[in-house]
Each structure stands twice: as structure tokens, then as C-alpha cells.
Amino acid sequence: MRIATYNINGVKARIETVLAWLDDSAPDVALLQEIKSVDEAFPRAPFEERGYNVETHGQKGFNGVAILSKRPLEDVTRGLPGDAGDEQARWIEATVMGARAVRICGLYLPNGNPAPGPKYDYKLAWMARLEARAKALLESEEPVVMAGDYNVIPQDEDAARPEAWASDALALPRTRAAFRRIVNLGYTEAFRARVQGPGHYSFWDYQAGAWSRNDGIRIDHLLLSPQAADLMTECRIEAEQRGREKPSDHVPVWVTLDA
């Protein structure tokens, strides 16, 4: 089972880019972020024509997450637990049925800038809720994959120019500590379990020739429960997708599980 995460930066603006990627890479499950569409306006048909079941948690104009799955989906839930008043569409989860059922969580973690300030406070509070949900998911003792745009640069080697991000909400010490607390519950950060060292990025700004200079950061992650990590056979960043016509500023990252 190939599970991909991809911040598409607007489904209507980049639908042809996303469809071409699906045709080329054919993931079994695709977790999309920043669909920027309400549920009823999401263009389901071209995805369904490619054999995908579609579940969305949308919001007009910004945010929004979706699950595309070629396998049946069960027990779909929307919204990260812990704050009934949170109206931002940033979390969706479902069980993907296959040779082994896998609980899939798609997330779009808040950016948090400017920091300090209310947006950063919201980011940290959201991460605390994520930690609580991650802990609860581990108690199921089932394969769990939490994947998406975390808006976290875990360590300096995950940025081409770490000094440029030192005061950014994505790399502040409290952000990194919150991310480590989640991983240290017992999760495996899939990409770093397979690939070490600098130079591996999943986001390049549209400005100042960042892509051509490989001035990127790695902020799209897949965290695996021990049961899912035992099934992992491969993990890869599809950096070449940034070279497509009308690309997102992110590229897909995927993991393959023997499930």
C-alpha cells in the first residue's frame, strides 16, 4: 500500500497537476492538504474516474484536507479532537481496508507566523491536541499513519539555509520540542528512518528562484506507529514534481507499507 501526502495549494488551481501526478505515481492512498474548497464544491468526478474513493473536510478559500483511496474507507472522522470550537479544516482520518487495515490521518498543521502572537499560540495548542490524539491512536495497537504538511522543520539539516528560518514559527525551539514529543511517544518519522543527511526538501518558495537553487525545507512528514513502521518497505520524496507546469510549492512524499 503506497500512502502519499501532498499539499496541493488549491485543488481548482492545480487539478491538472494533481491528476497528472496520480496518473504517473498511482498511490493507493493520497492525503491532500490546502484543497481550499468546501466539500460540496470539491471536484470529485475526475478522482472517482481514476478509481479513488473521496472524503473531504473542506473550508472556503483556505485550509481543507482530503483523502483519496483506491481501497475502501471506513470510520471517517473530521476535525482534530480537543477543541469543539475550532472551525479550521485541518484534520481528517479514516481506516483504509486491505490485507491489513491501516488508520490514516491527514493533517495540515498551522503555520504559526508571526511568532510570538495569537497564531503561534494556536499552533502550539493544536500540536498539544495532536499529541493527545497521537497517544490515543497508539493505544489501538494497530497500524497508524499520521501524514501531512506539519509546518515543522524538525532540525537544521532539514533546511538549505537554517539561519534564515531560525526565528520562524516552523523552526522555533518550542515547535521542534512539540514535534519531538509526538515522535517520542513511539512513532517513526518515515523518511528519516530511511534517508539521513541534508539536501532533502519537500517545499520551495515560489519567490527568488528557490527551486532552481534548491533553497528548500522539509516540512511534509509521515509518522508511523510501531505496527505501521514494521510494515514499511520504502519512503521517498518526489522532488521532481516541483518541475511540473503549474506546480504546488510542495511535492509529494510517500511511504509503502506491506499491507
Active site (catalytic) residues: 108, 149
**Longest CA–CA separation in the chain, Å:** 46
Q: If you count them, how many residues does the chain have? A: 259
CA atoms within 13 A on the CB side of 142: 14
Q: What SS3 string covers 191-257?
A: HHHHCCCCCCCCEECCCCCCCCCCCEECCEEEEECHHHHCCEEEEEECHHHHHCCCCCCECCEEEEE
The Cα 165–Cα 103 span in angstroms is: 33
3 class by beta-carbon count within 10 Å (0-12 exposed, 13-18 middle, 19+ buried)? buried
End-to-end C-alpha distance for the chain, whole angstroms: 6
State the cell numbers at 134.
Answer: 497521537
Task: Please calculate the CA angle 196-198-200 and round it to the nearest 5 degrees.
Answer: 85
- Verify cis geometry, omega within 30 degrees of 0, for the bond prior to 247: no
Where residue 112 falls (left for φ over 0; alpha for ψ -120 to 50; beta otherwise) is left
